[in-house]
């Protein structure tokens, strides 16, 4: 005879499982939607919190526990389960009655076939559970695939930007100092400028002028790098030329050696300074001596012996290559500064910048210095209109001059080698002569040719 109490218990347990699945589905779907929204919000608004946000999944095991507790609090009673089973068995209330008032005689009137009891048990079909959770799970998975918004410097305050700019400039200066690129006066001058800049921009947003100042300082320091690199390059090419001549002729002339000495004297000052300061790792004694000579006298004083000279030249070449490579690396590091500090170097990526004009300009396939078609031509230095100090006449008083008119011209002539009489006497291409003549109206003899001041 089937044990009715056991079947009631099984029925009750299955009902509770069904109830738990329902509660769990409700709670889990709500939890997943909240988690998905949180992930989305963090990825959109607070990207810095993203990895930590994954900890919200730690609460996932708590949801079934909470659901189980809820199920326990609102669980089906034994009476309810019995009533349901009674209905399913079509016992007409006898099962309920016997559950409350056991009676052996009436017990025989319950269904006696066990399969009937088994078929009356409810079956767990978690369709609602699956259908309810499908959408939230898909939502959470989708939110996990949403890319994290790149953090920009929109959060950076203007004062912070000025601090960053100052720091960047200081770092570039330090890099220059480490590379021993700067001479002492230059170093001092840049240091002073930078201190002044830092003082002006301390706890203040950068003004337009200060931005320009920062650009100027950055450009100045960049130029120092370039100058040093060019020097090394020039020395290296001079050395190459000398070595190739040596290889062709077997020996170099004193004039060629002199030219190399001159080029080295002009371009290897930074290397010489290093030698003087003692940073001569891996150098031979001979090379150290040569660089010291260069620093003190402006000349390398290559060894007289051809073999020794060749060896020194090879060592110098190797050293120049190493130095150029080192310099390039340092410069690369220096150029990297500021790119990731919210300066908006990359156009369209937000940040505090000065517009798209900051975008790096890439021209394409430019020819290098060696293969360039048009060689740089340095004009001879100009001279003043009246360079001669020949006495024209003696006056009783001081000569009458207008310093206001003379000063700019003098400054211009001093700095611009192409200015002055050389320019005046330069041969003019025939095809431009008509234009020049028309401009100056040279046919009218009465009109004097305007001087430089009027131009």
Partner 1 sequence: MNNQETPATPQSLLSPEEVARAKATVDHLLSELGRAILGQEELLRLAVICILARGHVLLEGLPGLGKTELVKSLSFLMGLSFRRVQFTPDLLPGDILGSPILEEQDGARRLVFHKGPIFANLLLADEINRATPKTQSALLEAMQERRVTVLGETHQLPLPFFVLATQNPIELEGTYPLPEAQLDRFTFKISVEGVGADTLQDIITQRKHGVPPQLQTVVTGDELNHLFELVDRIHLPEAVANYIARLVTSTHASNEGAPELVKQFVRYGASPRAAIALANTSRAAALVAGKPNVGFDDVKFVAPSVLSHRVILDYSARIDGWENQSLVRELVDAVPEVGRDIPADVKV
For the bound state, the minimum distance from the C-beta of residue 339 to partner 1, rounded and expressed in Å, comes to 57
For residues 96 and 172, which CB has a smaller minimum distance to partner 1 in the complex?
Answer: 96
CA 178 – CA 38 distance, rounded (Å) = 48
Among 103, 215, 266, 318, binds partner 1 (CB under 8 A): 103
For the bound state, the minimum distance from the C-beta of residue 50 to partner 1, rounded and expressed in Å, comes to 35
Q: 10 Å Cβ neighbour count for 28?
A: 19
Give the SS3 label for residue 228: helix
3-32 residues near partner 1, rule: CB under 8 A: 14-15, 17-19, 21-22, 25
Residues with Cβ within 8 Å of 24's Cβ and at least 6 positions away in sequence, in order, are 63, 64, 67, 68, 129
For the bound state, the minimum distance from the C-beta of residue 119 to partner 1, rounded and expressed in Å, comes to 11
For the bound state, the minimum distance from the C-beta of residue 59 to partner 1, rounded and expressed in Å, comes to 23
Are 349 and 151 in contact, with CB atoms under 8 Å apart? no
105-144 residues near partner 1, rule: CB under 8 A: 105-106, 109, 122-129
For residues 100 and 452, which CB has a smaller minimum distance to partner 1 in the complex?
Answer: 100
How many chain residues touch partner 1 (CB under 8 A)? 38
CA 419 – CA 442 distance, rounded (Å) = 22
Helix H or strand E encompassing 120: helix 114-120
Helix H or strand E encompassing 348: none
Q: How far from 139 is each of 31, 37, 48, 343, CA to CA, in Å?
A: 12, 9, 22, 36
Q: 10 Å Cβ neighbour count for 75?
A: 15
For the bound state, the minimum distance from the C-beta of residue 68 to partner 1, rounded and expressed in Å, comes to 14
For residues 19 and 341, which CB has a smaller minimum distance to partner 1 in the complex?
Answer: 19
For residues 132 and 242, which CB has a smaller minimum distance to partner 1 in the complex?
Answer: 132
For the bound state, the minimum distance from the C-beta of residue 95 to partner 1, rounded and expressed in Å, comes to 9
In sequence order, what DSSP letters do the residues of 20-80 get, joined into one string? HHHHHHHHHHHHHHHHHHHHHHHHHH-GGGHHHHGGGGGGTTHHHHHHHHHHHHTPPPHHH
For residues 87 and 237, which CB has a smaller minimum distance to partner 1 in the complex?
Answer: 87
The interface mask with partner 1, positions 49-88, x = CB under 8 A, is ---------------------------x--xx-xxx-xxx
Stretch that binds partner 1, among 94-102, 307-315, 393-401, 437-445 (CB under 8 A): 94-102
Are 144 and 36 in contact, with CB atoms under 8 Å apart? no
Task: Tell me which residues touch partner 1 (CB under 8 A).
Answer: 14-15, 17-19, 21-22, 25, 76, 79-80, 82-84, 86-88, 91-94, 96-97, 99-101, 103, 105-106, 109, 122-129
């Amino acid at each position: 005879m089937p044990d009715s109490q056991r079947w009631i218990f099984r029925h009750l347990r299955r009902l509770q499982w069904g109830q738990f699945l329902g509660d769990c589905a409700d709670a889990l779907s709500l939890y997943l939607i909240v988690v998905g929204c949180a992930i989305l919000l963090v990825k959109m608004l607070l990207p810095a919190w993203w990895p930590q946000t994954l900890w919200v999944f730690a609460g996932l095991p708590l949801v079934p526990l909470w659901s189980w507790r809820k199920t326990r609090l609102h669980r089906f009673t034994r009476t309810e389960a019995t009533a349901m089973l009674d209905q399913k068995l079509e016992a007409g209330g006898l099962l309920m009655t016997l559950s409350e008032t056991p009676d052996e005689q009436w017990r025989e009137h319950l269904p006696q076939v066990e399969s009937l009891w088994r078929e009356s048990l409810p079956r767990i079909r978690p369709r609602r559970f699956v259908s309810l959770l499908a959408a939230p799970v898909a939502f959470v998975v989708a939110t996990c695939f949403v890319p994290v918004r790149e953090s920009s410097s929109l959060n950076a305050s203007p004062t912070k930007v000025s601090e960053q700019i100052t720091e960047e400039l200081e770092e570039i200066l330090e890099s220059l100092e480490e590379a021993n690129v700067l001479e002492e006066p230059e170093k001092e001058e840049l240091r002073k400028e930078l201190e002044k800049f830092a003082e002006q921009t301390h706890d203040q947003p950068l003004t337009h002028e200060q931005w320009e100042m920062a650009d100027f300082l950055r450009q100045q320091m960049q130029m120092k790098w370039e100058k040093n690199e060019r020097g090394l390059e020039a020395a290296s090419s001079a050395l190459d030329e000398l070595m190739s001549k040596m290889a062709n002729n077997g020996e170099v002339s004193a004039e060629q050696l002199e030219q190399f000495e001159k080029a080295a004297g002009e371009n290897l000052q930074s290397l010489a300074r290093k030698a003087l300061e003692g940073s001569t790792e891996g150098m031979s004694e001979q090379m150290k001596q040569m660089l010291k000579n260069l620093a003190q006298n402006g000349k390398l004083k290559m060894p007289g012996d051809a073999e020794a000279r060749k060896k020194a030249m090879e060592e110098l070449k190797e050293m120049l290559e190493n130095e150029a490579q080192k310099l390039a690396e340092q410069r690369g590091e220096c150029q990297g500064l500021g790119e990731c500090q919210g300066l908006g170097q990359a156009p369209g990526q937000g940040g505090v910048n000065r517009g798209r004009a900051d975008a790096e300009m890439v021209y394409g396939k430019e020819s290098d210095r060696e293969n360039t078609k048009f060689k740089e031509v340095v004009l001879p230095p100009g001279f003043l209109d009246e360079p001669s100090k020949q006495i024209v006449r003696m006056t009783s008083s001081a000569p009458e001059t207008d310093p206001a008119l003379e000063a700019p011209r003098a400054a211009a002539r001093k700095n611009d080698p192409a200015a002055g009489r050389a320019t005046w006497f330069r041969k003019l291409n025939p095809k431009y002569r008509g234009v020049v003549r028309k401009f100056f109206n040279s046919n009218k003899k009465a009109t004097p040719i305007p001087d430089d001041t009027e131009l």
